[in-house]
Amino acid sequence: MEAFTVVRGPAAPLMLPDVNTDVISPAHGGRGDLAANAFAPLRYLPDGSDNPDFVLNRTPFRGACMLLAGQNFGCGSSRETAVWSLRALGIRCVIAESFGDIFFGNCFQNGVLPVVLEHAVLARLAAEAASGAPVEVDLTTTTITPPSGGAIPFAVNATRRQQLLEGLDDLDVGIRRRGLVTAFQRSDRNRRPWVYLEGGATRRTAPDGQGRSSG
Amino acid sequence: MRGRTLVDKIWDDHVVVEVGDGLDLLHVDRHYVHDMTSPRAFTALRERGVGVLSPELTFGSPEHSVTVLPGRSEASNPMSETFVPLLRTNFEAHGLTLFDIGSPDHGIVHVIGPELGLTLPGTTVVCGDSHTCTNGGLGALGFGIGTSEMAHVLATQSLVQRRPSMMRITFTGSLARNVAPKDLILHTIARFGADAGAGQAVEFAGPLVESLTAEERMTICNLAVEIGAKIGIVAPDDVTFEYVASRRYAPTGSALDAAVEYWRTLVSDEAARFERDDVVDATTVAPQVTWGTSPAHSIPVDGTVPDPGDAPDDATRRQWAQAMDYIGVAPGQRLAGLPVEWVFIGSCTNGRLSDLRAAAEVAAGHRVAPNVRALVVPGSAAVRRAAEAEGLDRLFTGAGFEWGEAGCGLCPGLGGVHLAPGDRCVSTSNRNFMGRQGKGVRTHLAAPATAALAAVRGYIADSREGA
């Protein structure tokens, strides 16, 4: 995973609530790759041409490395293609009022930093960023520097932060914890034996699919 | 000791280790895997040279990409031709249990998991699918995960998660005749908004919930994610235990007795604290239909489309205007009477036997209107068999509905059926997002009875009037 330390550049304001992952990464974009399909329902007009009102179609936000969004960004489907689509567009950081939970988690597995800011702070940042002047997000200091200067502090879970800084996803770390899980399962088997399908699930699937006999 | 919520209790019993900063490594009891979101998870395992830690706790079904029209195979559409063999290969390579198409156990994972007794009260259930919250209807802690997290679960049978804060919604009163649990939850989402449950787990409680069947509770929990909550759950009770007992993978005999004894403890303590604690009166809830592009855009079927001028803030005003433009409705317009081209009855929301019965009751003795193509897609092969055993297939086909094979079908705009831009579809599924059912397709979410009525009338109508 690519590490995240400091990102600086135009931050595109997409200040709509509930921008869902079906919109971020449509299953029916029909344009081949993730980058071309990203945001298709908002980005293209019914005739297939660019929608001039969509922020990522406007200079200087084409190729922006940051997105500013409203409430509940990334709600809906769990599809990680939503984050992959943002990466394909070159977006490394999304700053929003709130996020869909699954999308929020997916960001950290892909070197994308999701930042939550209060409505008023975000609104001021969006107003400043609208000119296309660069915004800087520094994960080492957990601050955002708006075009006019100053520093907006932001909160990020310390473990998540450290993994992003080091470029580690959960699996990189989790593989080392397999022994802990096996130990948990050994004691849990006594507490909750009904969870563990001993002998393998396949063997318990009756060939006629009509279920096993009781007993 | 401070009171604990139902979710706290299940959570505590699954913590393998605290990894710091409020994150827990949580044991996963059941991992469901489907065709669309899994390929790159298996690629990640190959790249890192790790296997599946607990293959006996992993179950799969090709449900998303498969054609749902009769006589299908994986070759019926290009997408399933790619994704189904890929799922098979990955499952064979790791010795995992697949309920393949053609198998009597095939179906939508959130339908077959409960049906087979894999989903049990107090278990953690995850899947690369946001509607995994459906499993909360049986008192399981179910939530959707991304593909990277899937790889983590495959490799370690665990996940790094932050404990959600808790929200409780208590339903009071009772549902009017011909008003379904789907209507109640759509009403609830509209009232609280699509982000009300962000970062939270929602417990649905109260006498009304207790009076619902296990299938109805699953419909309610299915839509918890549309209120922004990753988890929806109902405390398990005798209704749950009766549903679970005798299912194939459920414990039996003394093991079941011991499990039930534990499951009875899975209720929120009196002293448990909820971040949000809301009450919804079900008595006045009417059949719901969505006018826009979020499940929160639900209104009573006899109501009118709102005016963007009345939106609570500027961003919402722009969202409403955009949604109206996309769906092709105007402020003040009534939805009743709006002609439709498609009706879809099915999905993990409303693809169970009781849903098909509710639709059949409306369809009986009528014909699908000439302007409508209507599909009934059972949520699983078992639902399909049970429906056929009581003659629902003949009732539907006799009325001009198409009787499909199990799968997600038109909910994500797949299933080998293509809707055209501008087509209007009344759908019993869970999402009306822009482009969800196909580019430019206009979705109106509704309960099975409302959908069936739209099919026979040819336009959106009030199910309380009957067909």
SS3 (DSSP) at B16: strand
- Cα distances from B163 to residues A103, B7, B44, B132, B147, in angstroms, run 16, 9, 26, 17, 20
pLDDT for res B467? 72
Separation CA B113–CA B119 (nearest Å): 5
CB-based contacts of A160: which residues, under 8 Å, 6+ apart? A108, B21, B23
Of B161, B186, B214, the last residue of a domain is B161
Nearest CA in chain A to B40: A80
B192-238 tens-digit pLDDT: 999 999 989 999 999 999 999 999 999 999 999 999 999 999 999 99
Residue B110, in any domain of the structure: yes
Mean confidence (pLDDT) of chain B: 97
Separation CA B165–CA B167 (nearest Å): 7
Plot region of B300 (φ>0 → left; ψ -120 to 50 → alpha; else → beta): beta
CB-based contacts of B382: which residues, under 8 Å, 6+ apart? B104, B105, B107, B112, B115
Domain count, chain B: 2
The domains found in chain A, sorted by start residue, are 6-168 (3.20.19.10)
Q: Find which of A116, A163, A176, A181 to mutate to test the B interface (most B CBs within 10 Å of its CB).
A: A181
Separation CA B345–CA B450 (nearest Å): 10
Name the β-bridge partners of B97.
B59
Nearest CA in chain B to A73: B195
Separation CA B379–CA B374 (nearest Å): 16
Nearest to A80 among B148, B253, B438 (CB): B148
Q: For residue B388, what are its two tokens? A: 């056929």
Q: For residue B94, what are its two tokens? A: 């790791």
Task: Looking at the structure, tell me whether residues B157 and B294 fall in a common domain.
Answer: no
pLDDT, one tens digit for every residue, chain A (215 residues): 999 999 999 999 999 999 999 999 999 878 889 999 999 999 999 999 999 999 999 999 999 999 999 999 999 999 999 999 999 999 999 999 999 999 999 999 999 999 999 999 999 999 999 999 999 999 999 999 999 999 999 999 999 999 999 999 999 999 999 999 999 999 999 999 999 986 544 444 443 433 333 32
Judging contacts by C-beta atoms under 8 Å, the chain B residues touching residue A17 are 194-195, 315-316, 319
Q: State the SS3 of B43-105.
A: HHHHHHCCCCCCHHHEEEECCCCCCCCCCCCHHHCHHHHHHHHHHHHHHHHHCCEECCCCCCC
pLDDT for res A199? 53
Interface touch B158/A181, C-beta < 8 Å:
yes
State the CATH number of the domain containing residue B304: 3.30.499.10
- Taking the CA of residue A144 and the nearest CA in chain B, the distance in Å comes to 22
pLDDT for res B269? 98
Which residue range forms the structural domain that includes residue B27? Answer: 11-161
Judging contacts by C-beta atoms under 8 Å, the chain B residues touching residue A76 are 130, 225, 431, 433
Residue B221, in any domain of the structure: no
Interface touch A41/B434, C-beta < 8 Å:
yes
* CB atoms near residue B313 (< 10 Å): 12
Nearest to A22 among B53, B255, B433 (CB): B433
pLDDT for res A207? 38
CB-based contacts of B213: which residues, under 8 Å, 6+ apart? B239, B243, B354
Dmax (CA) of chain B: 64
pLDDT for res A214? 30
pLDDT for res B1? 60
Give how far the C-alpha of residue A128 lies from the chain's centroid of Cα atoms, to the nearest Å.
24
For residues B52-78, b (16+ Cβ closer than 10 Å) or e, as one string? bbbbbbbbbbbbbbbbbbeebebebbe
Closest CA to B117 of B28, B236, B244, B31: B244
Residue B322, in any domain of the structure: yes
Interface touch B50/A175, C-beta < 8 Å:
yes
Q: For residue A178, what are its two tokens? A: 């397999």
pLDDT for res B2? 78
CB-based contacts of A37: which residues, under 8 Å, 6+ apart? A25, A26, A29, A30, A31, A85
Nearest to B37 among A79, A178, A193 (CB): A79
Task: Looking at the structure, tell me whether residues B156 and B295 fall in a common domain.
Answer: no
Judging contacts by C-beta atoms under 8 Å, the chain B residues touching residue A34 are none
**Taken in order B175, B178, B180, B183, is the CA torsion positive or negative?**
negative
The one-letter code for the residue type at B312 is P
Of B161, B176, B202, the last residue of a domain is B161
Nearest to B249 among A72, A204, A214 (CB): A204
Name the β-bridge partners of B374.
B343
Judging contacts by C-beta atoms under 8 Å, the chain A residues touching residue B263 are none
pLDDT for res A204? 44
Residue B172, in any domain of the structure: no
- Taking the CA of residue A110 and the nearest CA in chain B, the distance in Å comes to 8
Of B161, B189, B204, the last residue of a domain is B161
Q: Does residue B86 have a pLDDT over 60?
A: yes
pTM of this prediction exceeds 0.90 = yes
Do the bridges between strand B442-445 and strand B424-427 make them parallel or antiparallel, or are there none, so unpaired? parallel
CA dihedral defined by B138, B144, B148, B149, rounded to 10 degrees?
-40
pLDDT for res A209? 38
For residues A69-86, b (16+ Cβ closer than 10 Å) or e, as one string? bbbbbbbbbbbbbbbbbb
Work out the pLDDT band at B389, boundaries 50, 70, 90: very high
| Residue whose entry in the numeric block shows the structure tokens 């520097």 | A145
Q: For residue B197, what are its two tokens? A: 């449950």
Residue B15, in any domain of the structure: yes
Task: Looking at the structure, tell me whether residues B150 and B296 fall in a common domain.
Answer: no
Peptide bond into B55 cis (omega under 30): no
Nearest to A197 among B56, B104, B439 (CB): B56
The secondary structure of residue B430, as a DSSP letter, is: S
**Taken in order B341, B347, B349, B351, is the CA torsion positive or negative?**
positive
